[in-house]
Amino acid sequence: MAEVGVKQGKTDWLVPAALLVGGAGVAAGIYFYMKKPPGVDPGDRIKAHFSFVFRGDGGSYILLVRFGYHRISDWFDPEEGLDRYTAPVNLPGPGSYEFDVVCILPDGTPARVYDAEGSVLSPSMQPGQEWLIRVFKDKAITVR
């Protein structure tokens, strides 16, 4: 006695699986190729946001930002070309102040992690050699 029906054959998954894996690999490759590591590029602008309390009578001061390497015991070695971001500010009297100093990273800045030094100077002081008060931020920026 004969029966009529559909032949139950095995499905060949090899080709779809290979296409799937290959496609995923290509997609991952494109993703990692296009994706940049976190950080900033030479030419980018960095905003250094200063915040402090001033209890003096008022006067003109200089805000200075330097990027480089914060050594132990608060010694700081600036990177050449990243050591002269300044902004003059006028403080009319006692109070809390906030300022932004915009720093443009020059072309050719070596790709690495930089610490930062923010300081306040009086106008007669030599930047980098004298300061009234300063603060460090380790691993402040990553240049890629």
Residue 32 Cβ vs another protein, minimum distance, rounded to whole Å? 22
Long-range contacts of 43-46 (CB under 8 A, 24+ apart): 43/104, 43/105, 43/106, 43/107, 44/104, 44/105, 45/102, 45/103, 45/104, 45/105, 46/102, 46/103, 46/104, 46/105, 46/141
The nearest distance, CB 40 to another protein, in angstroms, is 5
Stretch that binds another protein, among 2-10, 14-22, 23-31, 40-48 (CB under 8 A): 40-48
3-11, 15-23, 24-32, 120-128 -> range binding another protein (CB under 8 A): 120-128
Q: Which of 27, 130, 138, 144 binds another protein (CB under 8 A)?
A: 130
Tell me: does residue 135 bind another protein (CB under 8 A): yes
Q: Is residue 7 within the footprint of another protein (CB under 8 A)?
A: no
Under rule CB under 8 A, residue 138 binds another protein? no
Span 10-29, contacts to another protein by CB under 8 A: none
What is the footprint of another protein within residues 43-82 (CB under 8 A)?
44-56, 65, 71, 73-75, 77
Can you give the binding site for another protein, defined by CB under 8 A? 40, 44-56, 65, 71, 73-75, 77, 102, 116, 118, 120-122, 125, 128-135, 137, 140-141
